Every structure is written in structure tokens, then in C-alpha cells.
A and B are shown apart, each in its own frame.
Chain A
Amino acid sequence: MTSQLATRPAPPAGSVSAKPVTRRRSVEGGWKQIALNRAFLLPAVVVFVFLFIIPLAQSLYWSLTDFTGYSTEANFVGLANYAAIMADPSMLAGLSFTLVFAVGSTLVTTLIAIPLAVQLNKAFAGRSFVRSLWFFPAVPSMAILGLVWGYILSPLPSGVFNTLLNDWFGIDAISWLSDNTLAQGSVILVGVWAQTGWHAVLYVAYLQSIPAEYYEVAKIDGASSRQQFFGITLPLLTPAIVISTFLLLTAGLKVYELPFTLTGGGPGFTTYTITQSIVVSGVGQGRYGLASALAVLFTIAVAVIGFSQLKVASAIGKRFS
């Protein structure tokens, strides 16, 4: 279609007769087309309104009340719920770890996934099998992964990792999940392990769209592998990096199942997340007003972080384009 438009003969320069015809056609076809386009958009708009706008508006309303979730009666409490959040150490701890997890898992996953994708893009025996193997951790739910890794990273001497470390290197049991720093690191580690393969496959798809001629020319010009990676591969992967980091960051901000099943948010509130806080407050404790206030603040924070990330990614994209 593009090529047809491109090869259509241009009207003679200075011609005026073709212009009104084109405009009339575009008006007639345009109104119908616009109406048709709107009609196709309608289901998406309805879904968006019912599943996003209305719940968000309801959350905003409930955040200003003492709604418990058991009775439709709710009293207006102003900004008391927001003040309670700011004064609650557990919620601030949840916010802190959520940010650490989102940024940490995004950075580490990206730093591993890109080189991995470059390797997976090379021709070698059993390549499809190895790609599948890396992709597999993305298939089971995070909740199941959390439970399984709970046994692997158990701080007891009988834990899988500790047993291997002791048998192979004589190292004493390490408190993977019972030390604050190690517990946070362990949650990020499992998150990275689960997501790296999926994002590497995404990068592989983009790598395959880079013309081989670029590398051939670079080789003729004497570019080393490192120069080829930083001069050709990385710049042309920018669109993939934008998508991948956006997905990782938003998934990281919403993380719930993994820390909940792996550490339960502990020790203390060390691996507590915002989403866990919302679920516990709203469902477990019947404090929907408070949970809604937290959800509203969280939505704003996610929107700000998401848009900022897109802005930065767009600037980087322009720099390399």
C-alpha cells in the first residue's frame, strides 16, 4: 500500500483541477471512515472506562472515606487516610523496597538479557533448545516460583543452596532469607532469574532485524567485536530496550506474588511491597479507605515513573536514530 502511494504519479506542478476532487473525496470518505474508526474503538473505550476510569474514580472517592468493604455506609474523613500512610513505617518500608526491586530487577535483567540475547542469536547446535530453556522460568507463575525458591534458599543447613555450598566448598549455612540485605537481594535475584529469558527472547527478535550487512561493513573497516556491539547492536536495540525496561519497571512496581510467597514481606518489613500493603490493608484488615488512598498514591507514582522512563527512553532513542 505504501509502495502504491509512493509510485502514484504526482499531479502536474501548478495544476489546480485535481485539488478540489481530492478534497471532496476525502470529506465523503472521511466522515464514513471516521465514524467507522470510532465504532471500532468503542469496545476498547467501554472496557477502558469500566475497568480503569470507574474503579480509579471509586478508589479516589473511597480514599477519602472510612469504607470497610463490608457495608456501603462510609463516612467522609478527608485526607486522614493519606496522613496515616505517611505516618506508617510499614507502608514507607513497602514503598522503599518496591522501588529498590523495580529499579534493581530492571537494571540487572537488562544487563544480563542483552549479552545473553547476542549469544542466543549466534548459530550453534541446539540453539532452539537453549532458548527454550532460558525462556522456561517465565512460564510458571511467580507465586509458584516463590514457593520453590523458598526451599532452595532456605537459611537452614538443609536448604538446597546451603547443602550444595557446604558439600562443594565447605561453606557454613548462609542466611539467604533471614538477613535483611540478603533477603532483599534474594527476591531481586529470583525476579531476575524468572524474567531474563523472556526479555532475552525479546532482544533476539530485534537483533534478527538488524541487517547483517552492517556487521560485514564494520568488519571490513576493521571494527572489533566490542566496537560492533557498542556501535551497531546497542544503538539499533534502543527500541527493544525501551519496551523491555518499560515492561520490567511496571512489573517491578506492581510486584506482589514473589516476595509474598518467598519471604512473606519479612524479615520485619524488609521485603514488604506496596501492592502487598494494599491487599493486606484492604482485604485482610477491612481498611478499604486506607488501601484506596495507597492505591491512588501508587497509581500517581507509577504514572510519573512510567512517563519519565518513556521520556528518557525517547530522548535516548532520538540520540541514536
Chain B
Amino acid sequence: MKSRLVRASAITAAAALGLGLASCSAGGDAEGVTTISFLSWTGEEQMQPVLDAFAEDHPEVKLEVSYAPPVAEYIQTLQTRVLSGTAPDVFLIAAENKTNLIDAGAVVDLSDEPFMEGVQEFNLDTYGRDGAQYGLSLSSWAAGYAYNEEMLAEVGYDAIPETWDEFLELLQALEDAGHTPFLESVDQMPTTVSAMIGAKSSGMDPSLDEQIFSGASTFEDEWSDVLEQYDRLYTEGLVSSDVVALDGDQVRDEFANERVAIINAGPWIINAVTEANPELQFSFAPVPGIEGGKPFQAGAASPGYAINAKSDEAKQEAAKTFLTWLASPEGVELFNQQTNDVTVTESFTPEVNPIFEPMVAPIRDGQLYLPMISWQRDEDVLNVEAVAQMQRMIQGQIEPEDVAAALDAKLSD
């Protein structure tokens, strides 16, 4: 008797739960509201006001939002959900997962959508392939050099020179004046190398990476001269090989405490440096060009909003409503206010910190390069290899051409 009662209670509870779940998933549609899921790359504190504004403008679309911090955790979370068939209706396509997502047919082609018009072509191309575009990328980031204006003035400079030779002369002058001239974190692709390769590629047609990945050229042919110039920082004794053990935060702290004159940096250091040392006068500049080149910036289009190709038609339409609103002047303005990202849509001019002003025009013109974004396959494999081999080069264990040869070997695996 007792067991029957227990069984009956369990069945009732299961039925109630099932009904509850069913009403959760179907109730929205019945009221004319479509519920879509969204996995946000941007943190809740920054994103919630944007989502609240969307909810106010579009009560017919309900967003179920979850958050995962970039980069590795976001990629892993999304990967697991895609594989298990529970991918969100809207998510972010990034450098680390774009090849896999496109290959797996997991993202909708957004090329013909009206909300893609007015977005910088560089951003659209970043998350596209063979003429199709899969991500709505609203902003870009750039990195170059941040410099201590007072230290440079001490040795007779008021800005970073435009050529690499002149830049090395400046570093020597700073060294002679008793300053640590330059630090660059090498725990990821060095800003200097990215910018120099970008400058070289910008003058090539087809681009440098198109030539390498089509087999018309090799890393050894295209990268060796740039790596040789970069290695002069270490072979000429201007920078310590200890940089192989530094991360971006340590380099930033050295700069904020005025223990180094120039560092590689992006806009993300501005608040931390200003808070740590409000008196510090500093500015930004692009990476100087090597012979025959021009100053350039490392950088990339921010991850793009993508729509799940496996979502049903109604959810895809609701997702497009969300993306249309995000790309509107109102959406972009709010996004810029919340994230301080440099947005790249035609309909809105972003406000940026004056310190970072020298870098804004190149960002909005798409004059940016990051190998990992530009490479056409095996992006992370090549990136891990490049960073490790460059660290060995800085330590003096291998030559610049060995780094390039290792990349060729990795690509041919």
C-alpha cells in the first residue's frame, strides 16, 4: 500500500514537472512571444543594460541569456553545447572556433541580411568564407606601443618614430639614459610581429596568407625577414630575453610604475595605468615599419554575433530581430557605452579615450592584422607553435628562419 502511494506520488510529480517544462518551452509561442537562447561573450554587468533596452523595444522576443567568460571557457562551453545539440540560438563566432563552426555547418549565412549593411567590410570578411558572412562583428580592437612621454622627451623624442631603424635608435638612447627602453610580453603572438606582418601583407595581392595557404609561398619566404628585424631587439641587447616569462599584466605594471619607457599595449591598459599612476603622461602609436613598409597595428575584428543553423525558423527570425536591433544606431551606441569598444558601423561614431585617439582611424579603416584571424586553417595549432618557437629564438636557441620553417612543418602536418 505504502509503495503504491510512493509510486503514485512519484508519477504525479514527474507529470507535473513534465507539464511545467512543456509549458516553459511552448508557452512563449502561444502568447506571440518567441524565446531564444543567447550565450554572451560580454560579461553580465556590461551586457545586461543592452539586453534590457532590447527587451523594452522588442517584447515579442524573449532572450534567455547565459554567460561564459572568454576565451577558452567560452569556446569550450559553446563547443560542448554544439556537440550535444543544445547550442544557443545566438552565440559568438570567434577566431578560435570560426573554422570549426563553419565546417560543421553550425552557423547561418548572414550575407544578405540588411543588418550586415554599414558594418566595416574588414569585420564582415573576418568571419566569412567564400563570399559568405557568418558573424555580425560590431567592433574591432588594436594594439601598438604605449610610451611614456616624459622619458621620450628626456632623450629628445616627442613620439615613436615611423621606421624600425629609427625606433631601435630611440631604444638605444633610452638605454643610454638609464631607462629600460622596451618590454613586450611574448606569452602570445608579439604585437610587433603581428603589425609588421600586417604591414607587409597590406601591400600584397593576393594577401600574404592567401599565398602561403594556397601553397604559392611559405612562411619561411614571407616571415623570415620580419622575424630577423624583430630579433634585433634581442641580438642588439636592447631588450632582455626575460620577456619570454612575462605576461601582459606584468608588462603593464612595469609601465604604470615608470620602470620602462615603451611597451606593447592596447586600450585595455588605459584604466589600470591611469588608476595606478594618475600623473603618468602616456600615449599610443602604431608599430614602426621595417624598410619599405609602413607603421601598422596588430588587431582584429571582435567576435561576431552568429545564429545557430540548427534552430527552427521562428527562432532564427527572432534571432535576426535581435541582431538587427544590435546593429542599429541605438544598439551600437549602447554597446559602445557599456563596453568602450571601438565600434565600426557607419551609422554611429564611437567615443574613445583621447589617449587612444591615434589608433582609432586605423581601427575604423580596418587597417589591422592578427595572424590567428587571417590564417585559413589550423589557427591555434600554428599560433601555439609560433609563440613557443619565437620564445626559443629570443633565448638565442634557434634562428629566425627556424621559426618560420617550424610553421611550414606544422602547416604541412
Chain A residues within 8 Å of B, Cβ to Cβ: 68-72, 84, 87-88, 90, 150-151, 154-156, 158, 173, 175-178, 180, 183, 263-269, 272, 280, 283-287
Contact = CB atoms under 8 A, between A and B. Distances in A.
Contacts of B250: 150-151, 154, 156
Given A70-B79, A70-B82, A268-B397, 11 more contacts: A71-B105, A154-B250, A175-B245, A264-B247, A265-B388, A266-B245, A266-B387, A266-B391, A268-B391, A268-B395, A284-B380
A283 B76 contact: yes
Interface of B: prevailing SS: helix
7 contacts: A87-B413, A178-B243, A266-B187, A266-B388, A286-B79, A286-B97, A286-B100
B245 A285 contact: no
A186 to B, nearest CB: 9
A126 B378 CA distance: 58
Which 6 residue pairs are nearest across A and B when measured between Cβ atoms? A177-B245, A155-B242, A178-B245, A71-B104, A70-B104, A70-B100
A138 to B, nearest CB: 25
B72 interface: yes
Interface string B53-82: 000000000000000000010011001001
Give the contact-size bracket for chain B: 35 or more
Given A70-B104, A150-B247, A84 B79 contact: no
A283 B378 CA distance: 13
Interface of B: 72, 75-76, 79, 82-83, 96-97, 99-101, 103-106, 187, 240-247, 250, 254, 257, 259, 378, 380-381, 384-385, 387-389, 391-392, 395, 397, 413
A252 to B, nearest CB: 22
A280 B241 CA distance: 25
Contact of B385 (A90, A178, A263): A90
Residue of B83, B101, B104, B242 most packed against chain A (CB within 10 A): B242
Contacts of B106: 70-71
A262 B14 CA distance: 49
A158 B245 contact: no
A267 B389 contact: no
Contacts of B242: 155-156, 173, 175, 178
Given A154-B245, A286-B97, A68 B103 contact: yes
A90 B388 contact: yes
A266 B244 contact: yes
A257 B289 CA distance: 39
Contact of A284 (B96, B241, B388): B96
